[in-house]
């Protein structure tokens, strides 16, 4: 396996000619797509991966400077897509990965032909004439709060977890077997996620885009979804009945059928 694919713990399934790439958001890893991705395996080559620092990615590749902006994550997406020779592929991004996909699509024209953005937000912190839903102070509190929740992470466990992403039974005695992250990296990812501002990138999206908006999503509100849908030139929005921020887990069937109308 190539270095890039190994670095991002890339898993490829499916038989289709076109690729469909799934990018997870803040808080978890590619496990987020377990109820959605299989539905597309008949028609697409599905590509799942972990952002560096999350899940089964290569932690030694974590570079504080590179990943201090979404640009760094988008570079990885382009590298994976180039490695797998994507052309006119579908990018499915959840949460912060929506914006990572927007940046990646702009970086490499022709690589992605369609974007599916689930619960996107170009900016979480309120600004003049814009309601992101959070104050800067609340985001600072979040970063502090994350320190109280280490997700069962400890330095001793790290090699065991990271060395055996395909053998979850090794982690069975651990409290939480999914979505463990080094707390320092989790905090850095939270910082880049919640302090980014990608509003200006939206207008430059050149490919057809589907926005999936949840009902009652406190992370990415209806107003924010409307802003994204309005600003991206060729975009349409489907408001899901699903509540919360992770419809790919709470209402996978609804997500899948909404996506089918688009891809």
Partner 1 sequence: MVSLDFTDMVENAPCGYVSLSPAGRMEYVNRTLTGWSGHTADQMIGKRFSDFLTMAGRIYYETHIAPLLRMQGSFDEFAIDVIKADGQRLQMIANATERRDTDGKPLSIRLALIRATDRRRYEQELLRAREAARTGERSAEVNLQREHETSELREQFIAVLGHDLRNPLASISAGVRILDRTVQTEKERQVIAMMQTTVMRMAGLIDDVLDLARGRLGGGIRLNLDFGKPLEPVLMGVVDELRLASPGRIIEAEFKIERPVNCDGQRLGQMLSNLVGNALTHGSSSKPVIVHAETREREFELWVSNAGQPIPQAAMDKLFEPFFRGNAHASRQGLGLGLYIASQIAKAHGGELTVSSTSEETKFTFTMPLSPEARTSGK
Question: Does 222 sit near partner 1 (CB under 8 A)?
Answer: no
Catalytic residue among 50, 94, 95, 182: 95
Question: Does 32 sit near partner 1 (CB under 8 A)?
Answer: yes
Q: 11-13 and 45-49 as β-strands: parallel, antiparallel, unpaired?
A: antiparallel
Count of residues binding partner 1 (CB under 8 A)? 36
Which of 3, 6, 15, 34 contacts partner 1 by CB under 8 A? 34
Question: Does 182 sit near partner 1 (CB under 8 A)?
Answer: no
Closest approach of partner 1 to the CB of residue 83, in Å: 28
Which of 6, 88, 141, 223 contacts partner 1 by CB under 8 A? 141
Told to judge if 24 belongs to the known catalytic residues of this protein, a careful annotator would answer: no
Catalytic residue among 24, 51, 217, 221: 217
Binding mask 85-124 for partner 1 (x = CB under 8 A): ----------x-----------------------------
Q: What is the 3-state secondary structure (H, E, C) of the chain?
A: CCHHHHHCCCEEECCCCCEEEEECCCCCCHHHHCCCHHHHCCCCEEEEECCCCCCCCCHHHCCCCHHHCHHHHHHHHHHHHHHCCCCCEEEEEECHHHHHHHHHHHHCCCCEEEEEEECCCCECECECCECCCECHHHHHHHHHHHCCCCCCCCCCCHHHHHHCCCCHHHHCCCCCCCCCCCHHHHHHHHHHHHHCECHHHHCCCCCCEEEEEEECCCCCCHHHHHHHHHHCCCEEEEEEEEECCCHHHHCHHHHHHHHHCCC
Which of 88, 147, 200, 223 contacts partner 1 by CB under 8 A? 147
Closest approach of partner 1 to the CB of residue 198, in Å: 18
Question: Does 261 sit near partner 1 (CB under 8 A)?
Answer: no
Told to judge if 215 belongs to the known catalytic residues of this protein, a careful annotator would answer: no
The residue ranges that bind partner 1 (CB under 8 A) are 25-28, 31-32, 34, 95, 134, 138, 141-142, 144-149, 151-152, 175-179, 194, 216-219, 243-246, 249-250
**Active-site amino acid positions:** 95, 217, 245
């Amino acid at each position: 396996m190539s270095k890039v694919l190994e670095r991002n713990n890339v898993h490829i399934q499916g038989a289709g000619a076109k690729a469909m790439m799934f990018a997870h958001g803040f808080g978890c890893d590619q496990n987020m797509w377990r109820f959605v991705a299989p539905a597309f395996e008949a028609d697409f080559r599905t590509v799942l991966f972990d952002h560096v620092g999350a899940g089964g990615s290569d932690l030694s590749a974590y570079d504080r400077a590179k990943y201090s902006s979404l640009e760094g994550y988008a570079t990885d997406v382009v590298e994976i897509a180039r490695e797998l020779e994507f052309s006119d592929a579908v990018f499915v991004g959840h949460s912060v990965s929506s914006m990572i996909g927007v940046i990646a699509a702009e970086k490499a024209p022709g690589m992605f032909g369609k974007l599916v953005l689930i619960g996107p937000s170009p900016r979480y912190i309120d600004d003049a004439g814009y309601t992101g839903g959070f104050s800067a102070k609340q985001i600072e509190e979040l970063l502090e709060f994350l320190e109280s929740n280490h997700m069962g992470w400890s330095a001793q466990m790290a090699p065991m977890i990271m060395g055996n992403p395909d053998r979850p039974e090794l982690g069975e005695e651990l409290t939480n077997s999914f979505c463990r992250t080094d707390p320092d990296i989790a905090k850095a990812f939270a910082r880049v996620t919640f302090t980014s501002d990608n509003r200006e990138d939206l207008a430059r999206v050149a490919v057809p885009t589907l926005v999936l908006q949840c009902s009652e999503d406190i992370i990415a509100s209806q107003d924010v979804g409307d802003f994204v849908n309005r600003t991206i030139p060729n975009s349409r929005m489907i408001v899901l009945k699903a509540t919360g921020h992770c419809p790919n887990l709470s209402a996978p069937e609804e997500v899948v059928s909404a996506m089918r109308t688009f891809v």
